[in-house]
Every structure is written in C-alpha cells, then in structure tokens.
Amino acid sequence: MNDILRHGASHLAIVREGHRVSLETVPTPSAGPGELLVAPLVAGLCGTDLQILRRERDDPARVIGHEGVARVLKVGAGVAGHLREGMNVILNPTHPDNPQMLLGHRLDGLFQQVVKIPAAIVDSGLVVPLPVDLPAALAPLIEPVACVIHALELMLKRKPAGPLIIYGDGIVGHLAALLAKRYLGVWTRVVMVHHSSAGLHWSERQRLHFDRHVLFDSLGAGLTLAMQDRPVAALIATPRSASLACLEHAVAQVCAHGVIDLIGGMPGDSRLSSLPQLEDIAQVRTLNCGGLPASGAFADVVTRSGKPLVLYGHRGVASEKLLDATRLLAQNPSTFAPLVTHLLPLPQAAELMQRMAWYGEREIDGERFLKVGIEISPCTGLLKADPSLHTPENLPCTA
C-alpha cells in the first residue's frame, strides 16, 4: 500500500459513467492541509447506491459507496492528533449542515482503494476511530444499524404503546424489525411488509424477530384484523419509487396520534391528498440531519379526515451513533452476520454493479442478496481498534 502513495501513483476504483460501470485505474490524490488519505477496507453496497446505479437519483459522484471502515494512510498538516496513520476509522458520510459534503453522493466514495477526505469532513468530526475490534464482514452494517438505532430512538419519543408496521424488506427494514423490540419494548409486535414473494420467503427462512410477514399487494382491511388492533407506528424503509404508496397506506392504517418515520427515500415535491398540510413530503426527511437537532424534530399533521399523526424523517446520524452501532455489532456478531449475505472483491463487485445498472437485479448466482459487502483491501478476520482506545479515559462518549 505504501507504493500507492508515491508521486504519480494510481489505484483501482469502481467508476460509473451513465449506465456503464467498470473497474478502472485512477490517479491517487495527495493529502493537503487538514485532509486525510484513507484506504477503504470493507464497504457496503446500499439501497441508495442501487438507485444511483439505476439513475433514479442524480448524484454526481463517479465513485459511490458511503458505508464502511477504512485505514488512515496519510494525515495532512493540522489534522487533530487523535487521527493517526495506520488507524482503522469509520467514515460518517453525512455532514449535518453542508449537503455538498456527502460522501459517495456528491464526493467520490469508498468503492476504491484510496479516498481523499476533505478538511471540512475531518474538522466536523465525521472520521472516528473504530472503537472496538469488529469482524470485517460486519463493517458494511455500521452505518445502516446506526440509522435504525437513531430512527427507533426518535420514534420512542412520540410513539404510543402498540404494534409497529415496517414497509420494505431491504437491509434497513430487516434491521428495524430485528431491533424494534430492543429499543421500543419487548411487547412491540412487528409486522414486515414485503414487495415480493421472494423477499417474504427469504425473511421467513431467517426466523428473525418478526410477528408477521405480509405482501404489500395483499394489504387491506385484513391487516388490521390480523393484528388485533391498529398499528400505532410505521417505519417506511423503501426505495423512493415505492415510498409514496407505502406512506399512503400507512396514513390510513396508523391510529390517531400514531407516528410515521420516513427513513426511506421520497421523491421531491411529493404530495398526498390525505395530508393536505404537507406541500412537499420530501421535506419531512430533512427535519433531522446528521443527528441534529439532538432533541429530534417532528411534524404534527392532521389528515384530511381529521386524524392527528406525527411524521418525521432523517438523513444520516451523529458520529456517536456510529460508535454505538459498532459496539452493538461487536457484542452480537452471530445475530447480525446472516444479514450480510455476500462479501465480494472489487472485480466481482464491479460486475454486479454493472448488472444492477442495466437490469436492476438483486441476485448473485441465482441467490437473493440482502446486504453485499465489498472487500477493497485484504482484511480477513477482525478489524482492530487502536490499542489506545481500550483505556477508559480515551473511549468516546456516546449520546
């Protein structure tokens, strides 16, 4: 890896141009004042990445990827002393108040051997040392687990006691179902809504902590009867192409004073006739960004029929939540391991991303994938935390 830092050196990157995705050799940057060069070790392929590949989003980054763990290669002048060369770090992709500093969306991301991290990201505390040793295969789950923890903690501030309905059977939906009873109470009944029978059957085989599985196409009055009482909360973890239809169903199903979380994408300028107060539902997702405000922000609305509801959304999390998620994963590796269904090297990942860009498929060798990890640098076994972090006075505080 030292050779990659020589003047005029190059490295491998998965580069996208329109619908074409390929593994290419690109120039390796240098680290200026306040900047870092990092070598991604393991990164996760996320639902947002799928939307970018299908050109359902207009994010300009040629190299995507925003979930994972990297090793610090070079520290620019003036970088805080707690970040050192050779240290494994988690990268928080969401800047709380600068939308241009969005790793893997606006800025080139992690699906490459070297990434330059701008000073604005470093200065904002978005590069954090890995707090504990972690199995490498679980690194792709840090950011989505952190987002789900944040979602459920916000929900608990306003949620009445009762059932939770989760729309979406991707990784975020599965994590939400897996963690709901932990954060909302063991009595919380969980119903997961799937978009396809293949997804439903996959989830049933995993025997995760769901009380019921249903297909979206079969939803109706029967859902309420099967749950015995109405859901008091809904979490919508779907691609933006499906979110509005799921929200419309949730608005009808959730009881008065219930809570709806828009954790999934939402098309801009989205409106529902049942929510006349909201001129642009997509703005609900911006109420909470990068963990701010710390107390959480919510939209109290009244439906056209007069039913009061609470809506909220969020983009990204505070870095402290990434640390909480890492510790949770490290403490419960066997619980989360089945959700990372595939771990691919860069060449195979590039081929998969090309097929996804062309055909939108969610299978590898005929098998449905849920979460794909990409091994960018050799890192079998454990990703090690810096030894200095094992002393109590140096452990980062968590909210």
Q: Which residue has the tokens 């994938």?
A: 369
Between 64-73, 103-112, 184-193, 323-332, the lowest mean confidence (pLDDT) is in: 184-193
Give the end of a domain, one of 259, 282, 315: 315
pLDDT computed for residue 221 by the predictor: 47
Is residue 78 domain-resident?
yes
Residues 244 and 150 in one domain: yes
How many domains does the chain contain in total? 2
Is the pLDDT reported for residue 41 higher than 60?
A: yes
pLDDT band at 397 (very low <50, low <70, confident <90, very high): very low
Q: What is the per-residue pLDDT for 384?
A: 93
Q: In this structure, is residue 356 part of a structural domain?
A: yes
Quote the mean pLDDT of the chain: 89
How would residue 45 be classed by pLDDT, with cut points 50, 70 and 90? very high
Give the distance, in angstroms, between the CA of residue 39 and the centroid of all CA atoms in the same chain. 20
Q: Are 308 and 178 within one domain?
A: yes
244 belongs to a structural domain: yes
pLDDT at residue 220, as a whole number:
60
Residue 167, pLDDT score: 94
Tell me if 126 is assigned to some domain. yes
Mean pLDDT value across residues 218-239: 72
Assess if residue 399 is contained within a domain. Answer: no
Domain assignment of residue 56, yes or no:
yes
| Same domain, yes or no: 116 and 179 | no
Write the DSSP string, 354-388: HHHHHH---EETTEE-SEEEEE-S---SEEPPPGG
Residues 135 and 245 in one domain: no
pLDDT(211) > 80: no
Q: What is the mean pLDDT of residues 78-105?
A: 91
pLDDT the model gives residue 399: 33
- Percent of the chain scoring above 70 in pLDDT: 91
Which residue has better confidence, 111 or 206? 111
pLDDT range class, residue 355, cuts 50, 70, 90: very high
309-340 pLDDT, tens digit per residue, is 999 999 999 999 999 999 999 999 999 999 99
- The verdict on 7 and 89 lying in the same domain is yes
pLDDT at 7: 63
- Based on the fold, state whether residues 153 and 122 are members of the same structural domain: no
Taking the C-alpha atoms of residue 313 and residue 236, their distance in angstroms, rounded to an integer, is 10
Q: Which CATH number is 248's domain given?
A: 3.40.50.720
Report how far residue 126's alpha carbon sits from residue 133's, in angstroms, rounded to the nearest whole number. Answer: 19
Query: What CA–CA distance (Å, rounded) separates 338 from 176?
Result: 15
Residue range 256-289, pLDDT digits in tens: 999 999 998 888 888 999 999 998 998 998 899 9
Does one domain contain both 298 and 248? yes
Phi-psi map region of 306: left, alpha, beta (phi>0 left; psi -120 to 50 alpha): left
Residues 300 and 202 in one domain: yes
Of 285, 315, 345, the one marking the end of a domain is 315
CATH of residue 106's domain is 3.90.180.10
Indicate whether 1 pLDDT > 80: no
Residues 98 and 289: beta-carbon distance below 8 Å: no
**Model confidence at 394: pLDDT above 50:** no
Print the domain residue range for 270: 144-315
**Averaged over 150-169, what is the pLDDT?**
94
Together in a domain, 239 and 280? yes
Which is nearest to 236 in space by CA: 192, 290, 299, 201?
192
Is the pLDDT at 23 greater than 90, yes or no? yes
Last residue of a domain, one of 250, 283, 315: 315
pLDDT at 392 over 70: no
